[in-house]
Amino acid sequence: MEIRFRIHLKIGQKFQESVMKCALNIVAVLISLALILACAKDPTEDPIYLAPNGITIKCDPSANVGDTFEVNGITYTVVDEEMLRGMVSQGADVTTLCTTKVTNMSNLFEGQGQKSTFNRDIGSWDVSNVTNMSLMFRWSEFNQDISAWDVSNVENMYGMFKESPFNQDISAWDVSNVTDMSLMFRASRFNQDISAWDVGNVTSMVAMFSLTPFNQNISAWDVGNVTNMNSMLEKSSFNQDISAWDVSKVENMSRMFLETPFNQDISSWDVSNVTDMSIMFTNTPFNQDISKWDVGKVNTMFSMFSYSPFNQDIGIWDVSNVTIMTTMFRNTTFNQDISAWDVSNVTEMFYMFNGNQSFNQPIGNWDVRNVTDMANMFSNTQFNQDLSGWNVDNVTSCFEFSINNPQWTLPKPNFTNCNPN
């Protein structure tokens, strides 16, 4: 707004009078402008106001803890973390709060000693400044609409909905700053579309969907920074295409698909940094070609394929760093040539082929000199190969080595430090 004043000096009028009148005019204009601005005040300058989305209640930075203000006929109270936690612990009504000043909501409604009964509508909360939501609803009854929450600053969602009945639409959440999603939905009822989530900064997805009915398309997820997928989908309903995932930084895949219906093509996965594949496909229908996997860093394959129909060619795998092969092919139908495997660092082979009625490959040249435990290794099998050349001098446990295998007529290892019967 541009205001101009012109002073007209008339003949005989004193200069001082003109200046005085001009000054009075300026004062009058300024007073008028002040009144206009006061009447046209931006509603967001109120201590508590409704955000543009029409749902979230926000606080002005100048608002004080304990301040109240009415929005659309409802009175809201400004709280900080201390006041909020106090209200929650006392069972107070927390549905009409302005939580803008809160940055930490970890364990907020978590059941302590007994399950929390909290299940109130807090969809209007402003969580835009929160960075930690770990275990927020763990072991609670919470299952409300929080789709409008702005979680763009949250970094930690560890166990957020763990052991709760939560199953709401949160597809629009901006989780781009989250680094920890481990146990986020574990043992919950969650099964919603979150395909558009940006998980590019997440490093841990440990047990994220374990024990859930989750079976949604997350094929486009960028998991390139994830290092730990231990139990990620364990005992879930998941069976989706994740062939394009970049798992090159993952180090732990233990129990990843345990007891799931998963049977998808993951042949092109780069697993070169994985060290733990224990129980990875146990009790699944998995039977896909993974012959080209680089397993050179894996040190444990404990029960990797047990109780599965897996029967693919993995004869060229580099297992030279593996130390544990216990129950690896137990109760499977695996019967592929693995005679060239370098098992020289393996120390435990107990129950390795137990219950496998198919395996009968020539592995007489295996270097098993470092193995200490071969108990039940070939019990309840049809195995019949010459293993007389095995160096079993370090084996101290070979209990029931080949019990219930009357078909084995060829020479067996010569155990000197244990009883194979």
pLDDT digits 0-9 by tens, 202-236:
999 999 999 999 999 999 999 999 999 999 999 99
Is residue 133 within 8 Å of 166, Cβ to Cβ? Answer: no
The number of distinct structural domains making up the chain is 3
Q: Which residues contact 168 (CB under 8 A, 6 or more apart)?
A: 143, 144, 145, 146, 147, 192
Q: Are residues 344 and 408 in the same domain?
A: yes
Q: 52 and 25: one domain?
A: no
- Do residues 273 and 342 share a domain? yes
User: What tokens appear for 370 in the block?
Assistant: 């470092």
Q: In 82-182, where do the E strands start and end? A: 97-98
Q: Whole-number mean pLDDT of the chain?
A: 93
Is 85 domain-assigned? yes
**Within-domain flag for 133:** no
Alpha carbon separation from 137 to 26, 110, 171, 206, 241 (Å, rounded): 60, 5, 18, 18, 30
- Whether 61 maps to a domain, the answer reads yes
18-27, 71-80, 275-284: the lowest-pLDDT one: 18-27
pLDDT for 21? 63
228 in any annotated domain = no
| Count of other CB atoms within 10 angstroms of residue 200 | 15
**Residue 17 structural domain:** 12-41
Residue 33, pLDDT > 80, answer no
Do 17 and 78 fall into the same domain?
no
Q: What percent of the chain has pLDDT over 90?
A: 88
In a domain, 308, yes or no: yes
Co-location of 373 and 402 in the same domain: yes
Residues 314 and 366 in one domain: yes
- Residue 39 pLDDT grade (very low, low, confident, very high; cuts 50, 70, 90): very low
Whether the predicted pLDDT of 8 surpasses 60: no
Is 309 found in the same domain as 356? Answer: yes
pLDDT band at 24 (very low <50, low <70, confident <90, very high): low
Do 250 and 275 touch, CB atoms closer than 8 A? no
Residues 359 and 319 in one domain: yes
- Let me know: does 240 contact 264? Beta carbons within 8 Å: yes
Joined together, the tokens standing for residue 377 give: 């290794």
Q: Are 37 and 61 part of one and the same domain? A: no
Hey, how many other C-beta atoms are within 10 angstroms of the C-beta on 75?
10
Buried b / exposed e across 129-151, counting CB within 10 Å, b at 16+? ebbbbbbbbbbbbbbbebebbbb
Residue 126 makes CB contacts below 8 A (sequence gap 6+) with 51, 56, 57, 58, 59, 98, 99, 100, 150
Could you tell me the two tokens for 294?
């680089």
Same domain, 63 and 17: no
Question: Is the entire prediction scored with pTM above 0.85?
Answer: yes
Query: Is 148 domain-assigned?
Result: no
Question: Both 22 and 75 in a single domain?
Answer: no
Query: Quick check: is 158 in a domain?
Result: no
- Please give the Cα distance from 252 to 230 (Å, whole number): 6
Residue 164 lies in a domain: no
Question: Residue 38: which H helix or E strand, with range?
Answer: helix 15-39
Domain final position from 98, 114, 132: 98
